[in-house]
Amino acid sequence: MYTEIAKSYLRKEKFPSVWCPGCGHGLILASILRAIHKKGWKKEETVMVSGIGCAGRIPGYVDFCTLHTTHGRALAFATGIKFARPELNVIAVMGDGDAAAIGGNHLIHAARRNINITAIVFNNFIYGMTGGQKSPTTPRGFFSSTSPYGNAEPPFDLCNMVKGAGAVFVARGTEYHLPALDTIIYKALSKNGFSFVDVIVMCPTSFGRKNKLSSDATQNMEWIKSISIPKKKAEGLSQEELQGKIVIGIFADSLRSEFVEYYEREILKEGKCPKNTKSD
């Protein structure tokens, strides 16, 4: 049942996927699909937008209105869709390269604007599609094909950044903690406003192999498990004790006037555009 629900939303003829054996993207996609199912969203009223990279390929596999755009720009396209047709349910799926590097500014402004879109980052600390280069979320000292001596840069905490920019729902989950992730994504989809979920997912092929976790999926998962720490538990720990840990949980769940609703209520003077023609 757990997988059957997800399967009913897939474009099955598009499989096998481009993802490597052991990649966690499928697990997270299934979690998103279960949450959509629980929401009862109709396929033809659901839009999934992506950027570039392994996560960029997700919309190709799901039976919604799907848009595979340019690197980092998923949220900008999604903003146009949601603002033009607010009755649609809009989800943007991104990789860490999309969300934290080339599209970082779009992420900040989507959060500030508080437009009712759910953004989900498949954060695997690496540029998988291009062969394993480091990303803005690669931890310091970790190896990649462009950090052969270990990464010299500190990483972004995306949840902190997006919370600071004003998102009304901010959470982090992992591919290891799937039932918790189902709940988080369901809450994100339910939120009226900009909701953001940072999902830690493993790339055994690039990140795992380069960082002595091997290309074995189980070993990679075990590593996530070993460094994850629930938000409640983390609150009692010092910065030093949190070093190298991933804090999971919900970081923001607040209320703020949603952008499109505000525009329609305060700015719009007329209902339909253009007035004299049907919208369909």
Partner 1 sequence: MKELVISGNEAIAYGAIRAGCCFFAGYPITPSSEVAEELSLKLPEVGGRFIQMEDEIASLAAVIGASITGKKAMTATSGPGFSLMQEHIGFAAMGEIPCVIVNVQRGGPSTGLPTHPSQGDVMQARWGTHGDHEIIALSPSSSQECYTLIIEAFNLSEEYRTPVIFLTDEVIAHLREKLVLPDSKSINVVTRKKPDVPPENYKPFDTSFGKVPPLADFGSGYKFHITGLTHDETGFPTDDSKKTAVLLKRLQDKIIDNRDKIVRTDNFMLDDAELTIIAYGAVARAAKEAVLAARERGIKLGLFRLITIWPFADKEIAEISKRMKAIIIAEMNMGQLRTTVESAVKGRCNVLTVGRADGEIVTPSNILEKVKEVGIVH
Using CB under 8 A, list all residues that contact partner 1: 14, 43-45, 47, 49, 59-60, 63-70, 73, 76-85, 87-88, 105-106, 108-109, 263, 267-275, 277, 279-280
Q: End-to-end distance of the chain based on CA atoms, in angstroms?
A: 37
Q: Tell me how far apart the alpha carbons of residues 82 and 215 are, in angstroms, rounded to a whole number.
A: 39
Give the β-pairing of 169-174 and 118-123. Answer: unpaired
Judged by beta carbon, residue 47 or residue 250, the one nearer partner 1 is 47
Shortest spacing between CB 108 and partner 1, in angstroms? 8
Q: Tell me how far apart the alpha carbons of residues 38 and 58 are, in angstroms, rounded to a whole number.
A: 20
Q: Which two tokens stand for residue 47?
A: 């839009």
Judged by beta carbon, residue 90 or residue 250, the one nearer partner 1 is 90
Shortest spacing between CB 280 and partner 1, in angstroms? 5
Judged by beta carbon, residue 1 or residue 267, the one nearer partner 1 is 267
Shortest spacing between CB 42 and partner 1, in angstroms? 9
Burial profile 243-268: b = 16 or more Cβ within 10 angstroms, e = fewer:
eeebbbbbbbeeeeebbbeeeeeeee
Shortest spacing between CB 272 and partner 1, in angstroms? 5
Judged by beta carbon, residue 5 or residue 108, the one nearer partner 1 is 108
Shortest spacing between CB 77 and partner 1, in angstroms? 4
Judged by beta carbon, residue 117 or residue 158, the one nearer partner 1 is 117
Q: Tell me how far apart the alpha carbons of residues 280 and 117 are, in angstroms, rounded to a whole number.
A: 23
